[in-house]
Amino acid sequence: MSKIVVTGGCGYIGSHTIIDLIENGYEVICIDNNSRSHAAALQAVTEITGKSVKHYKIDLCNYDDTYAVFEEHPDISGAIHFAAYKAVGESVENPLLYFDNNLQSLVNLLKCIDEFGVSHFVFSSSCTVYGNPDQIPVTEATPIKRAESPYGSTKQISEQIIQDYARNSAATHILLRYFNPAGAHPSALLGELPLGKPQNLVPAITQTAIGKIDKLLVHGTDYPTRDGSCIRDYIHVCDLAHAHTLALRYLEEEKNKEACEVFNLGTGTGNTVLEAISAFEQASGLPLRYEIGPRRPGDVIAIYANNDRARSVLGWQTRYTLNDIMSTAWTWEQKLRDKKTVFGA
């Protein structure tokens, strides 16, 4: 059984990925300082899988603490690195916070990987690296344009750091570029738990429907798209999670041709904000209160994935539709309201 360290394992995508890894026979340990996540996520993982996960509540920006985890587990064979700040708006207001946290933690982790001879590294990147693309759908070969936010810059720079490191490292690496992760685990025991007012569309929709938010604000309907609102590629978090297991397996089976390879993880279909609202209304059977507001600074007009590479090379397939995303997210929101989760709120 391979032992994998997952950083940011208490976060939204990290915790769903731990479930998928466990279900596929991996042993997992988690590093997460819980500055923006809930340790209870691992309780939900245990409820779902029946397995407990050892958790180190440490900050990856502290090299000595990070080193100590690897020292205790010299048999770690792979690392999946999720831990990072991810709020686009906050990164615009405080870029140094983002560079400091997201880059320092990555470099410390890579130093440990190097020191302890960890064989495989999977990095949580984002379609944000493409900036405002000239052509959609984007493939992995689509030129990288200027990032629209410091958050996006940290993902571009992180990719560069890993590419440069990979050239002279014994380990093999994969960069996974996520589109818009959404939805919840079908058990409804785990899902997205935004801190404060949600910035992302799907939790903003479900919180509006449950009454935590008065009205959803649609950020602009004057874009050059079919209904004027922005286009995104919403991918179910469990589909995304499974891609990490496939990526690790691909590296373990030495199928990679390069020391660092890149994969887009999206469904291949773009939906507008208004289409997403209508998918929610259909899935929940409820009308959603929303109003049209101005554009949100930093928003990309339209982006969705060409996912041919992940499908043909990793054998990845998506199982969930936009309707599933909305129905699982809605069930999760109701369970949270009814305090029927380990999160209690």
Binding stretches for ligand UD1 (CB under 6 A): 86, 88, 126-128, 148, 152, 180, 199-201, 204, 216-219, 230, 232, 273, 296, 299-300, 303
Residue 120: alpha-carbon gap to chain centroid: 19
Nearest-approach distance from CB 48 to ligand UD1, in angstroms: 24
Encoding tokens for residue 112? 């440990």
In whole angstroms, give the CA distance from residue 175 to residue 161.
11
- What is the sign of the dihedral through the CA atoms of 249, 255, 260 and 261? negative
Closer CB to ligand UD1, residue 187 or residue 199? 199
Nearest-approach distance from CB 230 to ligand UD1, in angstroms: 3
Neighbours of 74 (CB within 10 A): 10
Catalytic residue numbers read 151
Nearest to 107 by CA among 68, 167, 164, 178: 164
Token pair 């991996």 is at which residue?
26
Closer CB to ligand UD1, residue 43 or residue 153? 153
Closer CB to ligand UD1, residue 52 or residue 132? 132
Closer CB to ligand UD1, residue 182 or residue 260? 182
Nearest-approach distance from CB 200 to ligand UD1, in angstroms: 3
Nearest-approach distance from CB 143 to ligand UD1, in angstroms: 15
Nearest-approach distance from CB 247 to ligand UD1, in angstroms: 18
Nearest-approach distance from CB 86 to ligand UD1, in angstroms: 5
Q: Which amino acid is at 322?
A: L
Tell me the backbone φ, ψ of residue 344, rounded to 5 degrees: 70, -5
Contact call for residues 161 and 110 (beta carbons, < 8 A): yes
Closer CB to ligand UD1, residue 73 or residue 219? 219
Closer CB to ligand UD1, residue 288 or residue 342? 288
Closer CB to ligand UD1, residue 148 or residue 239? 148
Nearest-approach distance from CB 65 to ligand UD1, in angstroms: 27
Q: In the Cβ-directed half-sphere of 5, how many Cα atoms lie within 13 Å?
A: 29
In whole angstroms, give the CA distance from residue 182 to residue 189.
15
Encoding tokens for residue 7? 């950083």
